[in-house]
């Protein structure tokens, strides 16, 4: 990954985009893709679609631009803020963290309070729910706090990108700014080829609260096929229950998901492309649902052939998600190669 692509990735990861508040990240993504596409359009909720025009079929490469987070639910008399979750925030990792409250006037720093170990009941190992936790912004009382923040202001962890060994990084919200990076970068790489198909790169909103943006885009865009890029659990870290292990490993390449939303002919086409391009991939079983935008795309309109490509990720929905940059780079290569030969494939199932 060269410096320009890495800078784009870091900028995405350092921009707060909790579900429902994705505007800053969407603008950043649009600025990047505008340099090499024919058109970028957005809808009323901020979904962004970039297109390189060609012939048939039309294929969308997608990621979701939102991240999990919190929101100011109430302001207590003592100036403390009460929170509610945005998406699947984890109550076990929020206490004792630095946070940023994103207001119309800028960022207000705070911390999620945690009683000192000396003061806690040694026999009580219970963990407060998020709506019982509080943010301390240093305000003396409710009036002072209300001058700084409002109910409904989003909150994210104050955490930047950390460099780990072996070309791996840790950050909050890799889920799923890395997906929109891959979609954009795959389209940029594909434009170096003579594309015959029409290829879209898409950054959806509000995936973490019910795949809402994908529902909008799937209906409006109605492409012939969709490949949704999202993180998937690397189950090679200590602490993963044996019954939840999938064989997916960090650093072993993109994950091609099979079953449920994943259209068998689209999956076969992607695997064929990986073989031809000598890109190592991992396989993952999805018996019921993928938990990604693919679940919304494949039931849009009369059904859109869809597939989910995963980027292995450790510690999902924590402030310290970890991925291998080689995996992410390989996803962009795989999608670019697929876009270049999409016109050679049909994506209907022959059942007669």
337 is in an annotated binding site: no
Q: Is 78 annotated as a binding residue?
A: no
Instruction: Note if 207 is an active site residue.
Output: yes
Q: 39: Cβ–Cβ under 8 A, 6 or more apart, which residues?
A: 50, 51, 53
CA nearest to 179, candidates 207, 152, 148: 207
Read off the DSSP letter of residue 18.
B
Establish whether 175 is an annotated binding residue: yes
Choosing from 207, 249, 337, 346, the catalytic residue is 207
> Is-cis flag, bond preceding 96, omega within 30?
no
User: What are the CA-CA distances from residue 1 to residues 329, 332, 334 (Å)?
Assistant: 7, 10, 14
Structure tokens at 226: 């969709």
Does 102 carry a binding-site annotation? no
- For residues 256 and 248, what is the distance between their CA atoms, to the nearest angstrom? 10
Q: Is the separation of the CB atoms in 96 and 136 below 8 Å?
A: no
**CB of 149 closer than 8 Å to CB of 81:** yes
Tell whether residue 134 is among the known ligand binding residues: no
Gap between the terminal Cα atoms of the chain: 46
Q: How far apart are CA 255 and CA 193, in angstroms?
A: 24
328 and 310 in contact (C-beta within 8 Å)? Answer: no
Rounded Cα distance, 227 and 307, in Å = 5
> Residue 171 has what DSSP assignment?
E
User: Active-site positions?
Assistant: 207
Give the annotated binding-site residues: 64, 175, 208, 230, 317
Give the annotated binding-site residues for Zn(2+): 64, 175, 208, 230, 317
């Amino acid at each position: 990954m060269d410096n320009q692509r890495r800078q784009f990735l870091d900028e995405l990861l350092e921009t707060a985009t909790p579900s429902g508040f994705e505007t800053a990240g969407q603008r950043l993504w649009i600025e990047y893709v505008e340099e090499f596409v024919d058109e970028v359009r957005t809808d009323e909720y901020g979904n962004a679609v970039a297109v390189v025009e060609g012939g048939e079929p039309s294929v969308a490469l997608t990621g979701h631009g939102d991240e999990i987070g919190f929101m100011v639910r109430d302001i207590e008399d003592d100036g403390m803020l009460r929170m509610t979750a945005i998406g699947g925030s984890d109550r076990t990792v929020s206490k004792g963290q630095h946070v940023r409250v994103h207001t119309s006037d800028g960022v207000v720093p705070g911390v999620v309070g945690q009683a000192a170990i000396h003061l806690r009941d040694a026999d009580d190992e219970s963990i407060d729910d998020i709506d019982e936790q509080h943010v301390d912004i240093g305000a003396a009382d409710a009036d002072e706090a209300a001058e700084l923040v409002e109910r409904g202001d989003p909150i994210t962890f104050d955490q930047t990108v950390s460099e780990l060994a072996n070309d791996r990084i840790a950050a909050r919200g890799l889920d799923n700014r890395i997906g929109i990076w891959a979609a954009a970068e795959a389209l940029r790489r594909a434009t170096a080829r003579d594309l015959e198909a029409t290829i879209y790169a898409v950054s959806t909103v509000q995936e973490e609260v019910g795949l809402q943006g994908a529902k909008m885009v799937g209906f409006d865009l109605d492409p012939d096929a969709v490949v949704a890029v999202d993180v998937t659990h690397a189950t090679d870290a200590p602490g993963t229950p044996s019954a939840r292990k999938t064989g997916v490993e960090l650093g072993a390449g993109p994950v091609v998901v099979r079953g449920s939303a994943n259209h068998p002919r689209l999956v076969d086409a992607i695997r064929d492309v990986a073989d031809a391009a000598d890109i190592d991939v991992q396989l993952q079983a999805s018996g019921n649902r993928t938990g990604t935008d693919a679940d919304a795309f494949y039931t849009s309109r009369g059904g859109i052939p869809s597939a989910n490509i995963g980027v292995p990720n450790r510690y999902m929905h924590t402030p310290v998600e970890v991925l291998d940059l080689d995996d992410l780079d390989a996803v962009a290569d795989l999608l670019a190669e697929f876009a270049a030969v999409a016109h050679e494939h049909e994506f209907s199932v022959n059942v007669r």
